[in-house]
């Protein structure tokens, strides 16, 4: 029998029994759609988290005051209960490190901003000129904080997009004087709107020179020091240098914690990648179930069409021809099911993206390919047994059955 004829014969046989054909296509398509949608969710979560971390800045090394729980026991730490302050001078000293391209101290607090009688609570970040490039923020108007002595801050501020809108509406904000707590500051820049991210929401942020923030909040310690390493490869070395230098400055006590964005990112990337794989595995089980269903459907088809198989043999069909015809039918059911499932899955992923625009729910290519090929393979594999059973039927017995 020619291939085109075999395929046409299988197609006619499949469409001749719409109920069982629809059922097995449905089962197969649900399996494939599950793989596509679930991996789109898993990979979307991974991309979302990775994207958020990347938006914090590139090649970041971050210093936190205080020792984190991990690490060896240090008797010096045990004696001094409160950690030494992380100061602006500590941050300034890090500028000398060979691996550091940029350094920015960060002090944070909340305060009230007041302009023309309008009052609102804001988050205040005290930092230096390089804060904006390190954190990948962008200015919509104006300029960054001035390059100056870190211990002597000018009375200037950069405001977030939402604050600008609320206080100034259509008025020009640049150059205006505002009140922040008990200070009068001149606005020198406005940040671009970014929306809610993993880090701080810059739309409601006011950035001022670090020394100004510290005196406003009456504190000497920094919230963070951010260092941008020269390259991705330089991150571990830079981390070591930072630790070493701060230890020296703190009289041999290791009372700071240094984390790298890279390490956090890699952990999340791995974790969520594994999650996606696991989810894909679970979805693949439904594919195997669908394969078994296709097998049962084909076994029923063989029983239903016993008389026909006997006739085909009487008309000179070889066992091979009959095997191929039934295999082609099973393959067709799985292929159509896989295709429908793929389209359903993409549709589902599209719907997810419509409802949650920030969530990049795209199924990864490997999952789509694995899903489709698993569907086809199980369909064929489970189609073999019924096809063989059909080919082995005794023609006389088969013909007697009506």
Instruction: Report 292-321 residues binding another protein (CB under 8 A).
Output: 307-308, 310-321
d(CA 161, CA 148): 25
Our CB check for another protein shows the closer of 292 and 400 to be 400
Our CB check for another protein shows the closer of 190 and 330 to be 330
**Least CB distance to another protein at residue 10 (A):** 12
**Least CB distance to another protein at residue 395 (A):** 4
Query: Counting contacts by CB under 8 A, is residue 22 touching another protein?
Result: no
Number of residues that bind another protein (CB under 8 A): 26
Our CB check for another protein shows the closer of 227 and 309 to be 309
Cα–Cα distance list, 48 to 265, 281, 319, 398 (Å)? 11, 22, 55, 60
Query: Counting contacts by CB under 8 A, is residue 7 touching another protein?
Result: no
Task: Please choose, out of 2-10, 167-175, 255-263, 266-274, the segment that lies near another protein by the rule CB under 8 A.
Answer: 2-10
Query: Counting contacts by CB under 8 A, is residue 1 touching another protein?
Result: yes
**Least CB distance to another protein at residue 299 (A):** 19
**Least CB distance to another protein at residue 305 (A):** 9
Tokens of 382: 């489970």
CB 210 within 8 A of CB 224: no
d(CA 225, CA 230): 16
Our CB check for another protein shows the closer of 169 and 315 to be 315
Our CB check for another protein shows the closer of 272 and 398 to be 398
d(CA 32, CA 44): 18
Query: Counting contacts by CB under 8 A, is residue 390 touching another protein?
Result: no
Cα–Cα distance list, 145 to 18, 130, 150, 182, 203 (Å)? 72, 8, 11, 20, 17
Nearest to 111 by CA among 98, 122, 101: 122
Chain position carrying tokens 């006389």? 396
**Coil vs helix vs strand at 396:** helix
Nearest to 333 by CA among 17, 101, 73: 17
Query: Counting contacts by CB under 8 A, is residue 395 touching another protein?
Result: yes
CB 370 within 8 A of CB 35: yes
Our CB check for another protein shows the closer of 4 and 169 to be 4
Tokens of 7: 């395929």
**Least CB distance to another protein at residue 328 (A):** 14
CB 395 within 8 A of CB 335: no
**Given CA atoms 240, 241, 244, 245 in this order, what sign does their dihedral have?**
negative
Query: Counting contacts by CB under 8 A, is residue 264 touching another protein?
Result: no
Our CB check for another protein shows the closer of 8 and 184 to be 8
Our CB check for another protein shows the closer of 15 and 80 to be 15
Tokens of 251: 């009289």
Our CB check for another protein shows the closer of 8 and 95 to be 8
Query: Counting contacts by CB under 8 A, is residue 333 touching another protein?
Result: no
**Least CB distance to another protein at residue 312 (A):** 7
**Least CB distance to another protein at residue 400 (A):** 9
**Least CB distance to another protein at residue 308 (A):** 6
The full DSSP string for 253-308 is ---EEEEEHHHHHHHHHHHHHHHHHHHHHHHHHHHHHHHHHHHHHHHHHHHHTHHH
**Least CB distance to another protein at residue 5 (A):** 5
The dihedrals phi and psi of 200, each to the nearest 5 degrees, come to -80, 155
**Least CB distance to another protein at residue 335 (A):** 20
**Interface residues with another protein (CB under 8 A)?**
1-2, 5, 9, 12-13, 15-16, 307-308, 310-321, 395-396, 399, 402
């Amino acid at each position: 029998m020619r291939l085109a004829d075999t395929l046409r014969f299988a197609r006619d046989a499949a469409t001749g029994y719409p109920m069982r054909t629809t059922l097995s296509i449905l089962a197969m398509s649900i399996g494939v759609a599950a793989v596509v949608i679930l991996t789109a969710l898993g990979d979307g979560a991974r991309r979302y988290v990775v994207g958020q971390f990347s938006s914090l800045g590139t090649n970041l090394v971050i210093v936190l005051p205080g020792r984190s729980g991990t690490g060896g026991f240090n008797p010096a730490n045990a004696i001094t209960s409160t950690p030494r302050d992380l100061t602006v001078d500590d941050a300034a000293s890090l500028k000398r490190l060979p691996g550091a391209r940029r350094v920015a101290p960060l002090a944070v607090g909340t305060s009230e901003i007041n302009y023309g009688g309008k009052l609102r609570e804001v988050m205040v970040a005290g930092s230096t000129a390089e804060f904006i490039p390190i954190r990948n923020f962008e200015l919509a108007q104006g300029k960054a904080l001035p390059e100056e002595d870190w211990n002597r801050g000018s009375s200037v501020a950069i405001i977030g997009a939402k604050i600008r809108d609320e206080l100034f509406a259509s008025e020009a904000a640049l150059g205006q004087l505002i009140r922040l707590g008990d200070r009068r500051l001149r606005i020198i820049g406005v940040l671009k709107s970014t929306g809610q991210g993993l880090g701080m929401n810059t739309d409601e942020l006011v950035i001022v020179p670090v020394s100004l923030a510290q005196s406003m909040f009456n504190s000497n310690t920094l919230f963070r020091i951010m260092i941008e390493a020269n390259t991705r490869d330089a991150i571990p070395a830079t981390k070591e240098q930072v630790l070493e230098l701060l230890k020296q400055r703190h009289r041999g006590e290791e009372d700071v914690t240094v984390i790298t964005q890279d390490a956090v990112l890699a952990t999340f990337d791995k974790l969520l990648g594994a999650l996606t794989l696991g989810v894909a595995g679970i979805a693949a089980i439904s594919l195997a179930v669908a394969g078994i269903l296709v097998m049962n459907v084909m076994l029923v088809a063989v029983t239903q069409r016993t008389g026909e198989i006997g006739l085909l043999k009487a008309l000179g069909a070889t066992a091979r021809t009959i095997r191929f015809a039934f295999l082609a039918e099973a393959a067709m059911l799985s292929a159509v099911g896989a295709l429908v499932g793929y389209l359903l899955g993409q549709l589902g992923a599209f719907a997810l993206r419509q409802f949650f625009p920030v969530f990049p729910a795209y199924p990864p290519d490997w999952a789509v390919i694995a899903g489709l090929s698993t569907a086809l393979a199980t369909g064929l594999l489970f189609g073999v047994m019924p096809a063989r059973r059909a080919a082995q039927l005794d023609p006389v017995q088969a013909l007697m059955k009506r």
